[in-house]
Chains A and B, each alone.
Chain A
Amino acid sequence: AQKVTQAQTEISVVEKEDVTLDCVYETRDTTYYLFWYKQPPSGELVFLIRRNSFDEQNEISGRYSWNFQKSTSSFNFTITASQVVDSAVYFCALSEARSGGSNYKLTFGKGTLLTVNP
């Protein structure tokens, strides 16, 4: 069975601070995808990144960066120089990479509520 753990329920920072959101996953699959989504107060889930299990390269996109380490089954997300607009719930998710409708299901973590104060 798959499982995603986001141990941090809530994080509060002051604007311009760096913040890291943790994500630890469990899966028996050798190939899988990892995702991060952002859910602002409006409710819509915004796709941030997808990472294939074969690709352990870290990725940077503007103020966002992701650290994928298979050895520790972690896929952490760092926001550099946080801004008030970054305030949202962030979800880490996992899915299988094998084809087939039910295999595409996402297993979500419980989410981390990030509040960035001015």
Chain B
Amino acid sequence: GAVVSQHPSWVICKSGTSVKIECRSLDFQATTMFWYRQFPKQSLMLMATSNEGSKATYEQGVEKDKFLINHASLTLSTLTVTSAHPEDSSFYICSARDPVGGTQYFGPGTRLLVL
């Protein structure tokens, strides 16, 4: 099946720093990628839709200046959490949509802990 990688898998940082998370589709080109946030024992919450070559579309309530998304190529999307604070600590998961079949394949996720 299709493979999506996500890096890093774990991040511990100090409050006020910025953290960049990369999401790559390894064996297919994805014009559309998605970024999710998941709190413990909850479902996935969509943060934004990332389209290659254009601005991301953010869900209501998600601060676009805080969660910067860049989809520079058909295989790479990045999420930057700017000036991270403890409340940003969470599990962030990306997905890439395979345009051939339409299925979203998910990365392994990044656990962010802001101290």
Contacts and interface: CB of A to CB of B under 8 A. Distances in A.
Do A and B pair up? The answer is yes
Interface of A: 33, 35, 37, 42-47, 50, 91, 95, 97, 101-102, 104-106, 108-111
For the complex of A and B, list the 8 residue pairs with the smallest distance between their C-beta atoms, beginning with the closest.
Answer: A45-B106, A44-B108, A43-B109, A110-B43, A101-B51, A108-B43, A50-B103, A101-B32
Contact of B57 (A43, A44, A91, A101): A101
Interface of B: 1-2, 31-32, 34, 42-44, 46, 49, 51, 57, 91, 93, 95, 97, 101-109, 111
Contact of B49 (A35, A91, A102): A102
Contacts of A45: 44, 93, 95, 106
B108 A42 contact: yes
Contacts of B34: 104-106
Nearest to A113: B41
Contacts of A95: 102, 104
B97 A104 contact: yes
A25 B111 CA distance: 30
A47 B43 contact: no
A110 B45 CA distance: 10
A14 B46 CA distance: 34
Contacts of B97: 104
B49 A97 contact: no
A101 B109 contact: no
9 contacts: A35-B104, A45-B93, A47-B1, A97-B102, A102-B49, A104-B49, A106-B95, A106-B104, A110-B42
Contacts of B106: 37, 44-47
Contacts of B57: 101-102
Nearest to A6: B43
B109 A44 contact: yes
Contacts of A105: 34, 46, 49
A106 B46 contact: yes
Contacts of A91: 43-44
Contacts of A106: 34, 44, 46, 95, 104
B32 A47 contact: no
